Structure 1
Amino acid sequence: MGSGIGVLVGAFLLVLLLLDLPKLGAQQTHPIEVKALKDIRRKLKDPLKNLRSWNRGDPCVSNWTGVFCFNTTANDGNLHVSELHLLNLNLTGSLSPELGKLSDLKILDFMWNKISGSIPKEIGNLKSLELLILNGNLLTGSLPEELGFLPNLNRIQIDQNSISGPLPKSFANLNKTKHFHMNNNSISGQIPSELSRLPSLVHFLLDNNNLSGHLPPEFSELPELLILQLDNNHFDGTIPASYGNMSKLLKMSLRNCSLQGAVPDLSRIPKLGYLDLSWNQLNGSIPSNKLSDEITTIDLSNNNLNGGVPANYSNLPHLQRLSLENNSLSGDIPSTIWQNWTSNGNESLLLDFQNNKLSNISGSVNPPANVSIRLQGNPLCEIANQLNIVQFCRSQTRGEDVPKSPITPEECLIQSCPEDYEYVENSPVPCFCAAPLRVRYRLKSPGFSDFTPYENEFEVYLTSGLEMKLYQLSIASFMWIEGPRLRMELKLFPEFINNGSNKFNDSEILRIRSMFTGWTIPDSEIFGPYELLKFTLLGPYENVLLDFSKSGISKGALAGIVVGAVTIALLLSAVVSMLIMRRSAQKRRTVSRKRQSSRVLLKIDGVKSFTFGQMELATNNFSNSTQIGQGGYGKVYKGILADGTIVAVKRALEGSLQGEKEFLTEIELLSRVHHRNLVALIGYCDEEGEQMLVYEFMPYGTLRDHLSVRSKEAPGFAMRLRIALGSAKGILYLHTEANPPIFHRDIKASNILLDSKFTAKVADFGLSRLAPVPDIEGTVPGHISTVVKGTPGYLDPEYFLTHKLTDKSDVYSLGVVFLELLTGMQPISHGKNIVREVNFAYQSGMIFSVIDGRMGSYPSECVEKFVTLALNCCQDDTDVRPSMADVVRELENIWFMMPESDTGPSDSVDMDPKKVSPPSSTSTTKNPYVSSDVSGSDLVSGVMPTIAPR
C-alpha cells in the first residue's frame, strides 16, 4: 500500500514539474521591472508567507503572487507588469520608491494590509496608472504633489489611513479622475478651490478628516459631481447658496462640520436623494420649496433651526427618514407628511421630531402601521391624551421581529449537501448543491437609510454587473457601519449547467475577482461607490491560484503538456486506486460495526444513562402539559425523576438537524466541565431510536424570554449586569480552565438560562469544538478551520467569511448578547443589525436613545462603560476584541462602580430578581440625551472612540 501511494505521489510531482517547464526558460520580464519588484519585496514584511512565490523564476512567467502582465511582449522584446494586486495579505513594512520603475503599470492595489510609512512621490512617474488603491493601511505623511500629474488616473483611493497635510493643488490637473476616496484620514487645511476645474469628478469623499476653512462655492461648477461627502470636518462659515445649482448631485452629506447660517435652497437639484446636514449650528427656518421626488433621507437634526415644519415634506414617494429632532421648531406638524406617503411593499418611514417646541398636529393623527413618529420632548406631549398621541411621546424602544430565514424545501436540507457545498435557494433546478465564493463587499456612500426596500434591486444590479444569473447571488447578511456605510457578506454560486460542475473554474474565479478589484462593475446612482473588502477562497477553492500570468506559454501548448502528464499519472495510479478502494471497503465495514455498537459502548463517568421508560414516566408520557420549549433539535419537557429531582428533558425529533454527532459532542463535553455558570448535564437516553439529554431544570427559562417585549417584568440594569457577568464567567471557564479548552460556537440569549436565583448558566454545547492543541513544536494554532455553524446575528463576521473559529468568535457572540441586555432589541430586526444600530447611536452621541426603557433608572456612567465593552467585543477585527478574561475583568469593574452597592461581583450572592435594581443615586438618569465623554482608560483594548456625533 505504501509503495503504491509513493508511485501516485511521484506521478503528481511529475505533473507539477511539467506544468513548470515553461518557467524554466530565459527571463522574459523587463530586467528593470524584475529588479524593482525585488526591491518592493525587500521593503515589505510578509508574516504569512503570501509572497513566497516571489523568490523563484520570472515574475510574469512564474506566476508571482499578485503580479499580472500584458499578454504579449512589447517592442523591446520583454513582458511588462500591468497590474500589481497585493490586497489583504497581512503585509507590513513600507512602500518602496521603486514602484515608480513599473512604467507600464495600470493598477496599483495594496488595500487592506498594515503597511506604514509615506506614499512615495515616485508613484507620480507612472503615467499609465489608472487605479491607485492604498486604502485600509497605516500610511502617514502628506500626499505627494507628484500624484497630481498622473494623466490617466481614474481613481485615487487612500481612505482609512493616517495621511495628514493639505490636499495638493496639483490634483486639479487630474482631468480623468472620477473618484476621490480619501475619507478617514487626518488631511487638513482648506479644500483648494482649484479642484472645481476637475471635469470628470463623480465622487468626492473626504469625510472624517481635519479639513478647515470655508467650503469652496466654486464646487457648484463641477459638471459631473454625484456625491459630496464631507462629514466630521471643521469648516468655517456657511453652506454656499451656489450648491443649490449642482444639477447632477445625488447625495450631500455635511454632518458635524461646524457649519453656520441658513439651510440653502436645494430644490433645484432634480435627483437629490440623500441630504444630511445634522450636528451643525445652522439657524433660521427650513426652506419651503419642495425637494426632489427622489429623496430618501432628510436629516437636519441637532441644529438651531426655528420656524415650522414645512408642508413641502409631503408627497415624497421614496422618503424613508425625516430627522428634525433637537432643534427649536414650533407650531403645528402637518399630518399630510404621513397621510400622503404611500408604501409600496416593505418600505417604512421614520419621522423624528423629538425635542423641539411643537405644540400641535394638524389633521389626522393616525399614521399607517409602517410609519414611526417620535414626539418626545415637545409641548404637545403635555396634552398627549387629548391629542391621542401618547404612544408617540414615549421613550422609543425597538420591537421584536423574527430574523428572516431562507425558504428551503424540506426535501432539500442544507445539511444534505457535501461539506463546503450549499443548497442554492433560488436555483431553477431543485436541490442544486454548489460551492459558493464568499465576498465581503461595502457600499461606501449609499443613497438611502433603509436597505430592505432596495434589496431586490441591488441583487439585479450586482448580478447584471457581474454578468451572472440572479439566482447565483445570495446576500448572507448586511449591516450598517460607521459612515454610514453598508457592509455585506455575499455568496456567489456557479451557474447550473446540465452535466456540469457545481463549482466555479479558475478562469471564472479570476474574472469575478478582477471585476471587483478593477471596478468594472458600473456605479449605480442609488447604491453609489463600492469596494471589495475580502475575496475568500475556501473548501474546493482553497488551492486555486488566482495569480497566474496573462502572458507566457499558450493555452494549447500548456493543455497538451498537462493532458500527457495527467494520462501518465492516471495509468500509474490505477493500481493504487484499487488498493485504496479495497482498504476503504474494509474500513467502512469496521466503521459500520462501530456505529451499531456505539449505543452499547456509550458509558461516561458522572453522566447517568436513562431508559426510555424512565423518561416517559418523568414527563407523563411526553404530554403537552409538560412541554416548556421547542427548537430545531426538538422539544424540551419538564420532568420529575423517581427521586423527585426536577429536570429538563431535550428530546430530539426524528431526523433532526442536530444529529448523532452533536448528541455525542454535548454528552462528551458536558461530562468534563463543571462550573456554576454552565448548565449541568444529569444524563441521557439513547435507545429505541430515541436521543434525549437530561439537564438540571432552570425555572426562569431563557434570557431571551425576559428581554422580550412580551415579558411582564423586565429585569433592571443591576440584574442585567449580573447576568452578563455570570455568562462571561461561564465562557471564560470554557476558554481557560476546561482541559482542553472549548469554543462554544453558539452563544446567544436563548442559550443563556436562569435558575431559581437568576444565576445565568450557558447551555447547548451541541455545536461546540475543542480548542486547538499544541503541535509537535509546542505551538498552539490560533484557530480551528471548520464549517460555519451558529445563529444569524450572533456569528463572528470573520469566522463566517474565513471559516476560522477562535476564542474571539465567542467574544463577538457574547458582545451581541450584551447589546441585547442593554437595548432589549433582537440581533436582527427588519434587516437591521443590532451592532450597527447601537454603534451608530454611540457615534452620534445618542446612545441613551437605544437603551431599553423598560429597564427603569440606571447609573449612566455604568451603562456607558457596558456599551463600550459590548461594542469592543463586536469589533470586526478579531485582534482588537478583548479576551474573555478582559471581559470579565471589565464587568467586575462596572459592578463595583454601581452606586451605593453593597454587593460584590460574586455570583454566590443570592438575589431575588424582583428586588434587584440599581440603588437610587443622583447620577442615575433616564434622559436619552445625556452625553459624556469616555476616556481612553475606559476602553477595553482601546478600540472605540469617545461618544461624539461622528
Structure 2
Amino acid sequence: MMVFQIQGTTTTRRRTSRPFLLLLLLLLVLCSCYDDAVVVAVQRPQLTHPSEVRALQAVRTSLNDPINYLTNWGNGGDPCMSNWTGVFCYNTSTSEINDGYLHIIELQFINMNLSGILSPQLGKFSYMKILDFMWNKLTGTIPKEIADIKSLELLLLNGNQLTGSLPEELGSLSNLDRIQIDQNYISGPIPKSFGNLKRAKHFHMNNNSISGQIPSELSKLPKLVHFLLDNNNLSGYLPPEFSELPNLHILQLDNNHFDGTIPASYANMSELLKLSLRNCGLQGAVPDLSRIPRLAYLDLSWNQLNGSIPSKKLSDDITTIDLSYNNLSGPVPANFSGLPRLQRLSLENNSLSGVVPSNIWQNRILNGTEGLLLDFQYNMLSNISSSLNLPSNVTIRLQGNPVCQVANQLNIVQLCESQGGSEDAPEGSRNTPAQCLSQSCPEYYEYVEESPVPCFCAAPLRVGYRLKSPGFSDFLPYENLFEIYVTSGLSLDQYQLSIVSFIWEEGPRLRMYLNIFPEFNNHSNTFNESEIRRIRSLFTGWKMRDSHTFGPHELLNFTLLGPYENVVLDFPKSGINKGALAGIVVGAVAGAIALSAIMTIFFMRRHAEKLHTISRKRQSSRVSIKIDGVKDFTFGQMALATNSFNNSTQIGRGGYGKVYKGMLADGTTVAVKRALEGSLQGEKEFLTEIELLSRVHHRNLVSLVGYCDEEGEQMLVYEFMPNGTLRDHLSGKSKEALGFAMRLRIALGSAKGIMYLHTEANPPIFHRDIKSSNILLDSTFTAKVADFGLSRLAPVPDMEGTIPGHISTVVKGTPGYLDPEYFLTHKLTDKSDVYSLGVVFLELLTGMQPISHGKNIVREVKLAYQSGMIFSMIDGRMGSYPSEGVEKFVTLALMCCQDETDARPSMTDVVRKLETLWCMMPESDTGPSNSVDAGSSNGTSPSSFSGTTNPYMSSDVSGSDLASGVIPTIAPR
C-alpha cells in the first residue's frame, strides 16, 4: 500500500485523492487475483541463505561507513534481491548450487573509505569467490575464519591499515588464485602452510613488515607466477629451491635484509622475466643469468656484490640492467652491445676500470620513442673506445671517472657534467585535428582523439590503474602495445582508450589515469549501465590475461562523473528459472496495462492543477528556506524580469541549465540561473547554494539576491557580473585581452574569496568546484567566486575537541580541476580547493583549458618548467609582462598543484605570496589590454622588477624548490 503524506491544504488534497485511492485499490485487487492464479504454476524467487544474511549484518556492524555507501544494507530487503551495495550473488540458472537459496559470490568494497575491522563472520560465505576490501582504512587483523571459505579465489585486502600476522589457516584455501595484502602493516613470518596453495599464481605482499625466512615450502607451488615481497623485513637466505618453480615470472624482493649470496641455481629459472633484489644486503658475485631466455629486467643495485660482471650476453629481451652501488670491479663487458631492447644500463658507484665500450650505443638503431641511458658515474674508467657519435636519444653519464680529466681532449665535457632530471623521456600529447579547435565538448565530455569520426565528443569512464612491476624503465616505446593489451582485454577498439597521464612511483611502479570512451556509433556518446558493469568487472575480477611485458596490475579507482553519477555498479543479484520468469513477465505486463489505464484517468483529472500541486508539495515537504536578505521570487516575477526567458537575454549555460540577464521591478540588473528539468543541479545542490550564500559576505564572493522555487522550477538570482566569466576572457570569446597585471589581480581576488571561506566563514566552507567558469568579473574586473552547489562545511570538533583534517565524501567536481588525492581517497580538505585554484592560475598564465585535446595543463606546464621552456607556454594574448613576475607566479601555481596534499601551501599562504608579488608590480595599466606584443612570449618583456630585491624569502616558494624535485616528473599525453 502506498501512502502519500504532504503537509498543507489537507482538506483539498483528501478530496482530490479519493478517486485515485479507489483506483489504486482496484489495481491491488487485480494484481492479487492474478498472483493467486499463477502461484501454483510459478515458483517464487529465491532468497539469500539466512546464515549469509546474518553474516552480512555482522560485517556491516564491524565497519564504519562515513560516505554512506552501505545505506541500503538492512533496509528490510533481501541482499541478493535488493541490490545491496557491494554484494554480488550467484545466478541460479547457471549455478550448480541447488539448495533453494541464493548465495553470495563476491563482496566488493574497493575504495569506499571504509574503516573498522574485518568480521570473523566473513567465514560464513561458504560459496564466495572474491573478497575485495582494497584501498580502504581497515584496521585489526585478518580473521583466521576466512580460511573457511574454501571456494575463495581472490583475497584482496591491499591498501589498508591491517596489522598482526598472516593466519596459518589461510594455507587451506585450495582454490586461492591471488592473495593481495600489500600496503598494510602485516608482521610476522610467512606461514609454511602457504606451500599448500597449489592453485595460487599471485603473492602480492609488498610494503608490510613481514619478517623471517622465506619458507622453502613455497618452491612447491606449481602455478606461482608473481612473488612480490619487496619492502618488508625478510631475513635469512634466499631459498635456492625457488629455481624449481616452473612458472615464476617475477621475483621482486627489494629492500629486505638477506644473508649470503644470490643462489647460482637462479640461472635455471627458465620462465623468469624480472629479477629485482635491490638493497637486500647480498654479497658475493653476480650470477651468470645468460641462460634465462626471456629475462627483461635485472636490478641487483645497492648490495655488496663484488668481482667482475659476467661476460656472457643476456637475453635479447632485456630492457633494464641495474648493478649500481655495489663493489664490482674489472672492465665494462662488451656483451652489453647488441641488446635490441635495452633502455637503461646503470653501473654507477662501483670500481669498474678500463675503457667505456662505444659499441653499446653505436650498434643500436633507436626510433623516435626509444631512448638509451648509460650511467657509468663514479667508477675508475679512463677512456672511451672510439670517438663519440652520440645520437640525440642516447644519454651517457661519466661524472666522477678519470676519463673526465681529459674531457676537453676527448670532446666529452657534456658527459662529465652533473646530469639530473627524468630518466623517462616524455612524449608530446596527441593533437586533435585543427577543425576541432573551434569547438568544445560539453562538461564531463572530451574529444576521442583517435575516433574514426572527426571531433567526436563522448563521456569517458575514468580509471586509476597501476602496473605493479613492469618489465621496462621507459614506458613510451611500449605505449601502443599497452593500449592494445588493455583494449583487447576489455573487448574494445584501440581508439576507445586514452592514456591521460602516467607517473613513475617508488618500486618502480607505474601509475596511470585512463579514459575509456564509448563507441563512436553510440549516438548518446555515453556507455549504457550494462557496459559499465562489464568493463568494471573485468578490472575487479582480474579477468584480463596476464602480460609478460606489463606484469601484474591493479585497479586504483573507477570513478563515474557527469552522466554516470547515478549508475548503480552492482550486478543483478540473481537469475530466475524460465518458468518463474515467464509468470513474472506475464504478471508484469498485466499489471502494467492496468496501471496504465488507471494512471491515464488519474492524470487527465489532475492535469489542470499539476504545476500548482508540485509547487505546494516542494514548499511544504522540505525545510523552510526563508532567510533574511534573500528574496523569494515568484515564477511570474522571473518571467517578467527576463522577458519570458527570451533567448536574447541568455548569457550562458551549463550542465544545470541556462543563465539569463534580467531586470527586477526596482531596476536592479541580475543574473538568473534556471535549472532544466532533469539537470545535474539537484534539490540538495539548490538548497546548499541558498543556505551557504545567504550567510557568507565578501567582496570576492558573488552575492545571492534571491531564488524562485515554484511552478516546478528552480532558479537562483545573483548580482549581475557584466564582464562574465574568467573562462570567457581566457578562451578568446571576449574581444578584450587581459594583461599580466589584471590576471594577477584576478588571481589575488579569487584567492582572497576562497581564503575567506576557509578561515573566516563560521563554520569554514570547502568550495569543491573552483574553476575559471565559476570566477566571475564585475564591471571593474573584480573577481568573485560563484557556484556553491557542491560546497561542504568544514569538519567540526569531535567530543574531545579535535578537528578532523578532512571530510570523507563522494568525489564531485570538474575533471581537470580535481585534487588527485581527493580523487583517489575521497578525503576532501581545504587543500583540495588550493589545487583547483592552482589550475586556474595556470589557465591565467597559459590561456589553456585544464584538459583539452589530450593535454593536461598541470603536466604540460610542469614539463615545460623543468625543461626551461616555461615562457613558451605563456598566453600570447597577455601582451608585455615582467618575466621574473611570471616565473614566480608559475612557481606558486605549480606548488598549489602538487599531487600530495601536505606539499601544497594553505590559502592564506597563497594570498600572502600573491600580495607580495602584486606589491612588486610596476605602475602600469591594470585593465584589459588590446595590444599584444608577440615578442613578449619568450620572456624578454621590457617590463621587469627593476630596482627590487627578490620578494620571496626562504620561507617562500622559489625556483630551486622545483629544480630539486618538489614537482614530480610526469609524462604528459
Q: Give the TM-score normalised by structure 1.
A: 0.69
State the match for 2:264 in structure 1: 241
State the match for 2:83 in structure 1: 63
Counterpart of 2:814, as a letter, is V
State the match for 1:691 in structure 2: 735
Residues 749-775 of structure 1: CA distance to partner in whole angstroms, max 9, x if unpaired?
xx9xxxxxxxxxxx9979986696578
State the match for 1:104 in structure 2: 127
CA distance in 2, matches of 1:333, 1:816: 46
Contact (CA 8 Å) 2:468, 2:554: kept in 1 or not? yes
State the match for 1:479 in structure 2: 503
Uncovered stretches (5+) of structure 1, i.e. residues with no partner: 603-663, 671-680, 703-723, 752-762, 820-826, 840-849, 855-866, 893-904, 921-925, 932-938, 945-950
Contact (CA 8 Å) 1:143, 1:165: kept in 2 or not? yes
Note the C-alpha offset of 1:286.
Answer: 1.1
Confirm or deny that 1:884 pairs with 2:906. Answer: yes
State the match for 2:928 in structure 1: none
Counterpart of 1:138, as a letter, is Q
Residue among 801, 811, 814 paired with 1:788 = 814
Report the CA distance shift for 1:872/1:326 in structure 2 as closer, same or farther (over 3 A): farther
Report the CA distance shift for 1:240/1:365 in structure 2 as closer, same or farther (over 3 A): same
Q: Secondary structure at the match of 2:351?
A: coil
Note the C-alpha offset of 1:696.
Answer: 6.2
State the match for 1:493 in structure 2: 517
CA distance in 2, matches of 1:887, 1:562: 63
Report the CA distance shift for 1:691/1:733 in structure 2 as closer, same or farther (over 3 A): farther
State the match for 2:54 in structure 1: 35
Percent of aligned pairs with the same amino acid: 60
Larger radius of gyration: 2
State the match for 1:170 in structure 2: 193
State the match for 2:630 in structure 1: none
Q: Secondary structure at the match of 1:220?
A: helix
Q: Secondary structure at the match of 1:312?
A: helix
Counterpart of 1:68, as a letter, is F
Report the CA distance shift for 1:472/1:590 in structure 2 as closer, same or farther (over 3 A): same
Q: Secondary structure at the match of 2:364?
A: coil
CA distance in 2, matches of 1:304, 1:202: 32
Residue among 534, 552, 559 paired with 1:529 = 552
State the match for 1:120 in structure 2: 143
Q: Secondary structure at the match of 1:504?
A: coil
Write out aligned runs for 1:657-736 (5 A): 691-692=735-736, 694-695=738-739, 697=741, 736=759
Note the C-alpha offset of 1:423.
Answer: 2.8
Note the C-alpha offset of 1:409.
Answer: 3.0
CA distance in 2, matches of 1:280, 1:851: 33
Contact (CA 8 Å) 2:202, 2:227: kept in 1 or not? yes
Contact (CA 8 Å) 2:105, 2:128: kept in 1 or not? yes
Note the C-alpha offset of 1:194.
Answer: 1.4
Report the CA distance shift for 1:665/1:323 in structure 2 as closer, same or farther (over 3 A): farther
Contact (CA 8 Å) 1:396, 1:853: kept in 2 or not? no
Counterpart of 1:592, as a letter, is N
CA distance in 1, matches of 2:533, 2:222: 33
Contact (CA 8 Å) 1:787, 1:803: kept in 2 or not? no
Note the C-alpha offset of 1:347.
Answer: 0.6
State the match for 1:592 in structure 2: 647
Contact (CA 8 Å) 1:740, 1:771: kept in 2 or not? no
Q: Secondary structure at the match of 2:531?
A: helix
Contact (CA 8 Å) 2:303, 2:326: kept in 1 or not? yes
Report the CA distance shift for 1:307/1:797 in structure 2 as closer, same or farther (over 3 A): same
Counterpart of 1:231, as a letter, is D
Counterpart of 1:432, as a letter, is F
Report the CA distance shift for 1:745/1:289 in structure 2 as closer, same or farther (over 3 A): farther
CA distance in 2, matches of 1:564, 1:433: 42
Note the C-alpha offset of 1:545.
Answer: 1.8
Counterpart of 1:289, as a letter, is K
State the match for 1:315 in structure 2: 338
Note the C-alpha offset of 1:360.
Answer: 1.0
Residue among 443, 446, 466 paired with 1:422 = 446
Confirm or deny that 1:468 pairs with 2:492. Answer: yes
Counterpart of 1:151, as a letter, is S
CA distance in 2, matches of 1:531, 1:354: 35
Report the CA distance shift for 1:475/1:909 in structure 2 as closer, same or farther (over 3 A): closer
Report the CA distance shift for 1:287/1:507 in structure 2 as closer, same or farther (over 3 A): same
Residue among 269, 276, 281 paired with 2:292 = 269
Write out aligned runs for 1:782-861 (5 A): 788=814, 790=816, 796-798=819-821, 807-812=830-835
Counterpart of 1:114, as a letter, is K
Contact (CA 8 Å) 1:211, 1:233: kept in 2 or not? yes
Write out aligned runs for 1:540-559 (5 A): 540-553=563-576
Note the C-alpha offset of 1:429.
Answer: 2.6
Q: Secondary structure at the match of 2:48?
A: coil
Note the C-alpha offset of 1:396.
Answer: 1.7
State the match for 2:677 in structure 1: none
Residues 254-281 of structure 1: CA distance to partner in whole angstroms, max 9, x if unpaired?
1111112211111111100011111112
State the match for 1:304 in structure 2: 327
Note the C-alpha offset of 1:175.
Answer: 0.6
Write out aligned runs for 1:649-664 (5 A): none
Report the CA distance shift for 1:833/1:742 in structure 2 as closer, same or farther (over 3 A): closer
CA distance in 2, matches of 1:686, 1:76: 64
Contact (CA 8 Å) 2:67, 2:809: kept in 1 or not? no
State the match for 1:350 in structure 2: 373
Counterpart of 1:281, as a letter, is Q
Note the C-alpha offset of 1:421.
Answer: 2.9
CA distance in 1, matches of 2:449, 2:86: 34
CA distance in 2, matches of 1:325, 1:302: 6
Contact (CA 8 Å) 1:788, 1:799: kept in 2 or not? no
Residues 685-717 of structure 1: CA distance to partner in whole angstroms, max 9, x if unpaired?
999x9532555649xx99xxxxxxxxxxxxxxx
Counterpart of 1:788, as a letter, is T
Residue among 108, 116, 120 paired with 1:93 = 116
Residues 721-765 of structure 1: CA distance to partner in whole angstroms, max 9, x if unpaired?
xxx999999985785469988779579xxx9xxxxxxxxxxx997
Report the CA distance shift for 1:313/1:457 in structure 2 as closer, same or farther (over 3 A): same
CA distance in 1, matches of 2:592, 2:826: 32
Instruction: Give the number of aligned pairs.
Output: 775
Note the C-alpha offset of 1:401.
Answer: 9.3
Contact (CA 8 Å) 1:33, 1:81: kept in 2 or not? yes
Note the C-alpha offset of 1:157.
Answer: 0.8
Confirm or deny that 1:220 pairs with 2:240. Answer: no
State the match for 1:709 in structure 2: none
CA distance in 2, matches of 1:523, 1:746: 40
Residues 303-361 of structure 1: CA distance to partner in whole angstroms, max 9, x if unpaired?
12111211111111111111111222111100101101111331111111112221111
CA distance in 2, matches of 1:483, 1:304: 23
RMSD: 5.7
CA distance in 2, matches of 1:160, 1:883: 28
Note the C-alpha offset of 1:206.
Answer: 0.4
Counterpart of 2:111, as a letter, is N
Q: Secondary structure at the match of 1:138?
A: coil
State the match for 2:478 in structure 1: 454
Deviates more, 1:28-37 or 1:419-428: 419-428
CA distance in 2, matches of 1:343, 1:685: 41
Counterpart of 2:229, as a letter, is L
CA distance in 2, matches of 1:665, 1:239: 71
Note the C-alpha offset of 1:407.
Answer: 2.5
Counterpart of 1:874, as a letter, is Q
Note the C-alpha offset of 1:414.
Answer: 9.3
CA distance in 1, matches of 2:404, 2:840: 34
State the match for 2:389 in structure 1: 366
Contact (CA 8 Å) 2:246, 2:271: kept in 1 or not? yes
CA distance in 1, matches of 2:148, 2:116: 22
State the match for 1:325 in structure 2: 348
Residues 580-611 of structure 1: CA distance to partner in whole angstroms, max 9, x if unpaired?
9xx99978952524337989989xxxxxxxxx
State the match for 2:172 in structure 1: 149
Counterpart of 2:645, as a letter, is T
Q: Give the TM-score normalised by structure 2.
A: 0.67
Counterpart of 2:494, as a letter, is L
Counterpart of 2:355, as a letter, is D
Deviates more, 1:337-346 or 1:430-439: 430-439
CA distance in 2, matches of 1:453, 1:764: 48
Q: Secondary structure at the match of 1:49?
A: coil
